[in-house]
């Protein structure tokens, strides 16, 4: 007799339905798993055998053959233990109904208890899309699984609980009110607040524009100018996640194993700070068992690259594609995996190797050639994807002491950002984009009409600064965001003038 249990496997952040077929034949006791399993799946043999025996059930005396179908999808991870065990228990006559709409996910310990697995949300979402209406998962994964909504989730602590569920002791269904959960957890106190940053009005405004319009930023300034601190404050002014974004982000953190059982849903936009010594795989993603890199963990949030010119050229070159397309493609031997990676890039750099070019107090010790070489490490194509370029001068002790006005708290800036985002969401609802940074040349024509005065100013600037077409468009996008922040329907002269200050 062949028994079957439904399960799933992830490819990227998507999941495919898998059938675990089990057959026992009269032969020497042995167990084999076929159907393109990776090593973690092959090791299921040992775990499943011990788990079944130690749970007090009998294990077949013949040869056990497990087939994971379809065979052309590579199976990864440890979530196949449970469906395989279920198939074997059925072979041994345990009453578990054959049900095409029921699935099982989970790793087994040798003693039969179920261990938390990675990727539950994408797995359960994939199963639901394949018509599955009931899923059994490890207890610690139950809340995360229930985020998928529209599928019955049962969290079990061990194999015995699942068998008992079908006999006489049903497991309580896990339910999560996802809208309520997101609402309750979206607003939190952030560690870093713009009210702690003295002065630097222009840089702060640039970061506000970046948050509002989804623009990339490059800050250049001496050590001690507060670049890193201001980048950290970015997290406090980003708008809350929409439900769809939260679920997408949760999938990424789920397959990366970064969710905790108590916080199953990502409710805040991520802020990821990456050091230039990190491995390219760690930044971009990939490896033998591909995992999302930092640029994917920063999806819908901020990626901060401090000392951006120190990053390996290879890494900076690879960044161009996600900055353009909002996703990264990772090639492997047989297949390619796509991970979403749409983020706001914030880069920080010193103006020169010694760091003090243009500083009011400390002299720069670099030669002209050194400075040129240093600044040219950022390639043109990468710079083309950065909308806002600003100088962040270090304030002298005297200047710092003389600043008497209180800085505006992040909460107030965030309100303006949220308003501006709403305006954009409404304006672009039929265009398939969310923010001004995504405006294509065609959409720029549609939404960035200029009156005569603004046209004249921009035309003059284009001549004086010899603006390329790309730079011209960047200024239009920034002007659009500045106008949105001030609630203006049309781009006016003052918005263009302000936008011109951020051209680098
Ligand atoms: Zn220098």
Alpha-helical segments (H) within 428-468: 441-447, 452-464
DSSP letters of 303-345? EEETTGGGS-HHHHHHHHHHHHHSEEEEE-SS-EEEEE---EE
Q: How far is the CA of 364 from the centre of ligand 1 (A)?
A: 4
Q: How far is the CA of 232 from the centre of ligand 1 (A)?
A: 25
Task: Identify the pLDDT of residue 188.
Answer: 65
Q: How far is the CA of 139 from the centre of ligand 1 (A)?
A: 57
Q: How far is the CA of 351 from the centre of ligand 1 (A)?
A: 7
Phi/psi at 25 (nearest 5 deg)?
A: -120, 155
Q: How far is the CA of 201 from the centre of ligand 1 (A)?
A: 25
Give the three-class secondary structure for 377: coil
Under a CB-based contact definition with an 8 Å cutoff, are residues 216 and 346 in contact?
yes
Under a CB-based contact definition with an 8 Å cutoff, are residues 153 and 124 in contact?
yes
Task: Identify the pLDDT of residue 35.
Answer: 86
Q: How far is the CA of 145 from the centre of ligand 1 (A)?
A: 54
Question: How many residues can be counted in the chain?
Answer: 504
Q: How far is the CA of 366 from the centre of ligand 1 (A)?
A: 4
Q: How far is the CA of 354 from the centre of ligand 1 (A)?
A: 4
Q: How far is the CA of 363 from the centre of ligand 1 (A)?
A: 8
pLDDT tens for 292-338 read 999 999 999 999 999 999 999 889 988 988 998 899 998 876 778 89
- Domains of the chain, residue spans: 2-167, 189-413
Residue 237 has what DSSP assignment?
G
Indicate the burial class of 167 (C-beta count within 10 angstroms; 0-12, 13-18, 19 or more): exposed
Give the three-class secondary structure for 488: coil
Residue with tokens 């990821």: 272
Q: How far is the CA of 374 from the centre of ligand 1 (A)?
A: 10
Q: How far is the CA of 443 from the centre of ligand 1 (A)?
A: 42
Task: Identify the pLDDT of residue 260.
Answer: 85
pLDDT in tens, the chain (504 residues): 899 999 999 888 889 999 999 999 998 888 999 887 777 777 889 999 999 999 999 999 999 999 999 988 888 888 999 999 999 999 999 999 989 999 999 999 999 999 999 999 999 999 999 999 999 999 999 999 999 989 999 999 999 999 999 999 999 999 999 888 888 887 667 889 999 998 999 999 999 999 999 999 999 999 989 999 999 999 999 999 988 899 999 999 999 999 888 888 999 999 999 999 998 889 999 877 788 999 999 999 999 999 999 999 889 988 988 998 899 998 876 778 899 999 999 999 999 999 999 898 899 999 999 999 998 888 788 888 899 999 999 988 888 888 888 899 999 999 999 999 999 999 999 998 889 999 999 999 999 989 999 999 999 998 998 888 888 999 999 999 999 999 999 999 999 999 999 987
Q: How far is the CA of 318 from the centre of ligand 1 (A)?
A: 28
Q: How far is the CA of 358 from the centre of ligand 1 (A)?
A: 9
What sign has the CA pseudo-torsion 418, 424, 430, 431?
negative
Q: How far is the CA of 375 from the centre of ligand 1 (A)?
A: 11
Work out the angle at residue 205's Cα, subtended by the Cα atoms of residues 204 and 208, and round it to the nearest 5 degrees: 90
In angstroms, the first-to-last Cα distance of the chain is 72
Residue 453 has what DSSP assignment?
H
Under a CB-based contact definition with an 8 Å cutoff, are residues 131 and 137 in contact?
no
Closest Cα partner for 151 from 173, 128, 172, 129? 128
Same fold yes or no, 2-167 and 189-413:
no
Q: How far is the CA of 471 from the centre of ligand 1 (A)?
A: 27
Q: Which of 3.40.640.10, 3.30.230.10, 3.40.50.300, 3.30.300.90 would CATH assign to domain 2-167?
A: 3.30.230.10
pLDDT tens for 17-27 read 999 999 999 98
Under a CB-based contact definition with an 8 Å cutoff, are residues 417 and 239 in contact?
yes
Q: How far is the CA of 329 from the centre of ligand 1 (A)?
A: 38
Q: How far is the CA of 123 from the centre of ligand 1 (A)?
A: 52
Q: How far is the CA of 159 from the centre of ligand 1 (A)?
A: 65
The correct answer on CATH 3.40.50.300 for the domain covering 189-413 is yes
Give the three-class secondary structure for 153: strand
Q: How far is the CA of 361 from the centre of ligand 1 (A)?
A: 13
């Amino acid at each position: 007799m062949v028994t079957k249990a439904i399960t799933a496997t992830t490819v990227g952040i998507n999941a495919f339905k898998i059938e675990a077929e089990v057959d026992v034949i009269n032969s020497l006791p042995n167990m084999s798993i076929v159907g393109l399993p990776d090593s973690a799946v092959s090791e299921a043999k040992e775990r499943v055998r011990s788990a079944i025996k130690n749970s007090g059930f009998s294990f077949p005396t013949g040869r056990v053959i497990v087939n994971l179908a379809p065979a052309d999808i590579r199976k990864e991870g440890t979530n196949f233990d449970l469906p395989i065990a279920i198939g074997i228990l059925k072979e041994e006559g345990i009453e578990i109904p054959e049900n095409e709409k029921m699935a099982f996910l989970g790793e087994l310990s040798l003693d039969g208890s179920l261990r938390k697995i990675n990727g539950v949300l994408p797995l359960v979402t994939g199963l639901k899309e394949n018509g599955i209406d009931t899923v059994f998962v490890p207890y610690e994964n139950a809340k995360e699984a229930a985020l998928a909504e529209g599928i019955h989730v049962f969290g079990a602590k061990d194999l015995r609980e699942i068998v008992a569920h079908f006999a006489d002791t049903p497991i309580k269904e896990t339910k999560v009110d996802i809208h309520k959960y997101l609402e309750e957890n979206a607003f939190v106190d952030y560690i870093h607040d713009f009210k702690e940053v003295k002065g630097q009005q222009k840089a702060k405004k640039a970061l506000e524009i970046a948050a509002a319009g989804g623009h990339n930023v490059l800050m250049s300034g001496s050590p001690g100018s507060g670049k890193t601190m201001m980048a950290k404050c970015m997290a406090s002014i980003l708008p809350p996640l929409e439900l769809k974004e939260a679920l997408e982000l949760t999938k990424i953190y789920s397959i990366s194993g970064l969710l905790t059982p108590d916080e199953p849903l990502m409710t805040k936009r991520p802020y990821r700070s990456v050091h230039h010594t990190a491995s390219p795989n760690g930044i971009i993603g990939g490896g033998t068992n591909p995992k999302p890199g930092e640029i994917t963990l920063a999806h819908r949030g901020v990626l901060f690259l401090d000392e951006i010119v120190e990053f390996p050229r290879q890494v900076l070159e690879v960044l161009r594609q996600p900055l353009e397309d909002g996703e990264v493609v990772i090639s492997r031997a047989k297949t390619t995996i796509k991970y979403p990676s749409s983020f706001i890039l914030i880069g920080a750099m010193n103006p020169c190797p010694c760091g003090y070019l243009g500083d009011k107090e400390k002299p720069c010790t670099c030669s002209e050639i050194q400075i040129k070489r240093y600044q040219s490490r950022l390639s043109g194509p990468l710079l083309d994807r950065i909308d806002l370029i600003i100088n962040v001068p270090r304030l002298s002790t005297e200047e710092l002491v003389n600043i008497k006005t209180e800085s505006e708290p992040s909460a107030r800036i965030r309100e303006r950002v949220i308003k501006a985002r709403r305006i954009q969401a409404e304006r672009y609802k039929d265009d398939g984009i969310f923010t001004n940074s995504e405006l294509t040349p065609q959409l720029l024509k549609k939404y960035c009409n200029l009156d005569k005065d603004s046209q004249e100013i921009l035309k003059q600037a284009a001549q004086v600064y010899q603006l390329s077409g790309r730079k011209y468009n960047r200024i239009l996008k920034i002007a659009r965001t500045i106008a949105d922040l001030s609630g203006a329907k049309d781009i006016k002269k003052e918005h263009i003038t302000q936008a011109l200050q951020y051209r680098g």
